[in-house]
């Protein structure tokens, strides 16, 4: 049976091996193509990062499964599955803006147990394993504990389809006057890491993929936060709300009232 802390340490070692090259390439790597729409970028660095991470994980644990953003999907036989975003926040990466990250999560028998998010631009390492807490650069982190919706700093993100963006902007028209402010950092994984560290009070988004949120899910939970859909159920990304327990219900009610989960 795999041990979450052993998997966590492997994920950190692998992410650390890749991060310096990603940082070196940030801001100097043009898009090499687009995916779901003309604004959904991919670069050679995304593919290089994925290949490096997958190779290193499988060298150490050849029987594990893998799901990664750019192309890798392997079933595995060990019960462990790695869920990888080799560069989350590719637009920030292309422009040389902080906010992109390397995100490696792991599940055992479908349960999220490891979250490692490395922020090459600022040098932050967010790390968590089920039952072992969450840290940033080795220091324990906690969600903010904010309970007042009107004082909450809330991050969000936007999809790549024009119609969805129009709807997401309409949601913001209703949400923005009722909270402290909105942040759009450019990377879902970093937003979740920042919720875990109490640097944002909450985060919501419609239309994420499993690799955007796998590692962040474990970080938020181990930092004392909640993550799920609007009803608090586990989510595969269709709608994600991460918040301290004290804030969750009020924010969920506001988001439900403006149909944020259908935007």
The residues of the shown chain that bind ligand IPD, judged by CB under 6 A, are: 69, 85, 88-91, 157-159, 186-188, 205, 207-208, 212
Comparing CB distances to ligand IPD, the nearer of 159 and 244 is: 159
Residue whose pair of structure tokens reads 């944002």 in the numeric block: 200
Comparing CB distances to ligand IPD, the nearer of 61 and 212 is: 212
Closest separation between CB of residue 61 and ligand IPD, Å? 24
Comparing CB distances to ligand IPD, the nearer of 41 and 108 is: 41
Report CA dihedral (146, 203, 22, 58) to the nearest 10 degrees.
Answer: 100
Task: Tell me the C-alpha distance between 3 and 114, whole Å.
Answer: 10
Closest separation between CB of residue 23 and ligand IPD, Å? 16
Report the residue closest to ligand IPD, judged by CB: 157
Task: Tell me the C-alpha distance between 124 and 102, whole Å.
Answer: 11
DSSP H or E run through 254? helix 245-257
Comparing CB distances to ligand IPD, the nearer of 64 and 88 is: 88
Task: Tell me the C-alpha distance between 4 and 79, whole Å.
Answer: 12
Closest separation between CB of residue 73 and ligand IPD, Å? 16
Task: Tell me the C-alpha distance between 252 and 16, whole Å.
Answer: 36
Closest separation between CB of residue 62 and ligand IPD, Å? 27
């Amino acid at each position: 049976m795999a041990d979450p802390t052993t998997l966590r340490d492997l994920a950190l070692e692998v992410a650390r091996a890749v991060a310096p090259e990603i940082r070196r390439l940030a801001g100097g790597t043009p898009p090499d193509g687009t995916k779901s729409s003309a604004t959904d970028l991919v670069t050679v660095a995304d593919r290089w990062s994925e290949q490096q991470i997958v190779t290193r994980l499988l060298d150490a644990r050849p029987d594990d499964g893998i799901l990664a953003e750019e192309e890798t999907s392997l079933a595995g036989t060990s019960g462990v599955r790695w869920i990888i975003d080799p560069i989350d926040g590719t637009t920030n990466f292309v422009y040389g803006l902080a906010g992109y990250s390397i995100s490696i999560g792991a599940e055992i028998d479908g349960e999220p147990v490891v979250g490692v998010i490395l922020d090459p631009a600022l040098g932050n390492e967010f790390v968590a394993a089920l039952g072992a807490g969450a840290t940033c650069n080795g220091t324990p982190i906690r969600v903010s504990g904010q309970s007042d919706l009107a004082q909450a700093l809330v991050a969000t993100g936007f999809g790549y389809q024009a119609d969805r963006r129009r709807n997401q902007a309409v949601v913001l028209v209703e949400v923005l006057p009722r909270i402290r402010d909105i942040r759009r950092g450019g990377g879902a994984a970093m937003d979740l890491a920042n919720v875990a560290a109490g640097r944002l009070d909450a985060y919501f988004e419609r239309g994420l993929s499993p690799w955007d949120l796998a590692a962040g899910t474990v970080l938020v939970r181990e930092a004392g936060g909640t993550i799920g859909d609007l009803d608090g159920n586990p989510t595969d990304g269709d709608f994600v709300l991460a918040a301290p327990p004290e804030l969750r219900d009020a924010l969920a009610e506001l988001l439900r009232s403006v149909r944020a989960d259908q935007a």
